[in-house]
Amino acid sequence: MAVISDNTRGATLMAVSMTAYTANDAFLKVLEGELPIFQTLFLRGIGTVLGLLLLARLMGQLRFNLSRRSWTLIAIRTLAEAMAAYFFLSALFNMDLANLSAILQSLPLTVTLAGALFLGEAVGWRRMVAILVGLCGVMLIVKPGTEGFTIYSLYALGAVACVTVRDLTARRMTADVPTLLVSATAAMGVTFFAGIGAAVTDWAPVTPRAIMLIGGATVFIMIGYVCSVAAMRAGEIGFVAPFRYTSLIVALILGYVVFGTFPDVLTLIGAAIVVATGLFTIWRELKLRRTARSAA
């Protein structure tokens, strides 16, 4: 029997994770106009919190004896997660799934750039040029100043900014902070803030169809959480990370099959630029790490 390498396992888990996250997005988008955004977030959050707490308990990661610094970082990450969820769902309910997913592919670029600006991480001129070119690709997708531009394009960029803060905060956490505890805390934060919004919002009737869609979204986001955590622990990050772009392919397929939409030429060109520069940035970082290890 052939033995599957750690990198192959990690890449497979990452692809499954991104597919699950995008399927979650599709389930929620089908709910567009049926339930208010805060009601949707709150109902999905209840199932997500319970599932993650159960997983954390089963895996022995439900530990609370952390330092004050760790809890501060968890709190900042949770706030960023809640804001990202609001911006993301606002955009999702008013944009094509593939267009939104294409904008989110800029995350490897924004995280690298923010790491250089705020954490002092080294970024050479090649990666900096790649980041700037990639951000130009994002502008092709957003199309500022054209008929294709809407306020929800800015919401998508807001989600990117919030997720960037979330990921930078995660980088500052020490290895002893349980991943599932962080995920469960973030889910609780999103659900808490959604509950506040839902309390001052007129609720819509929750039909059996809505229950099924929210249930499907909850199952897929749970799969996404578990597989993404397992992926980053199974293989080298430089090999596994590019498989994040699976979400764009899945979004294109689901957007066409489920919603009958397909991005225009400018969006496809912009997405290709973003993905290409993101892959180059990841490859360059991996190469520099190998060089540093060889020198050591």
- Tell me: the pLDDT tens digits for 242-281? 788 888 889 999 999 998 988 888 888 988 998 888 888 8
Q: Are 101 and 22 in contact (CB under 8 A)?
A: yes
- Tell me: the pLDDT tens digits for 77-108? 999 989 999 999 899 988 888 889 889 888 87
pTM: 0.82
- Tell me: the pLDDT tens digits for 141-154? 888 766 667 889 89
Q: Average pLDDT, stretch 123-133? A: 84
Please state, in angstroms and rounded to a whole number, the distance separating the CA atoms of residues 211 and 221. 15
pLDDT for 2 beyond 60: no
Q: What pLDDT score does 116 carry?
A: 82
Tokens in use for 195? 């509950």
pLDDT for 1 beyond 60: no
pLDDT for 216 beyond 90: yes
- Tell me: the pLDDT tens digits for 8-22? 888 888 889 889 989
Which three-class secondary structure state does DSSP give residue 148? coil
Closest CA to 142 of 90, 106, 89: 106
Closest CA to 178 of 69, 47, 57: 57
Q: How many angstroms separate the first and last alpha carbons of the chain?
A: 37
Question: What is the chain's mean pLDDT, rounded?
Answer: 86
Task: Report the sign of the C-alpha dihedral through residues 111, 112, 113, 116, in that order.
Answer: positive
Q: Are 52 and 187 in contact (CB under 8 A)?
A: yes
Calculate Rg over the CA atoms of the chain.
19
Q: Residue 172: pLDDT band by 50, 70, 90 thresholds?
A: confident
- Tell me: the pLDDT tens digits for 32-79? 889 998 999 999 999 999 998 998 899 888 888 999 999 999 999 999
Q: What pLDDT score does 183 carry?
A: 86
Tokens in use for 251? 């979004």
Which three-class secondary structure state does DSSP give residue 258? coil
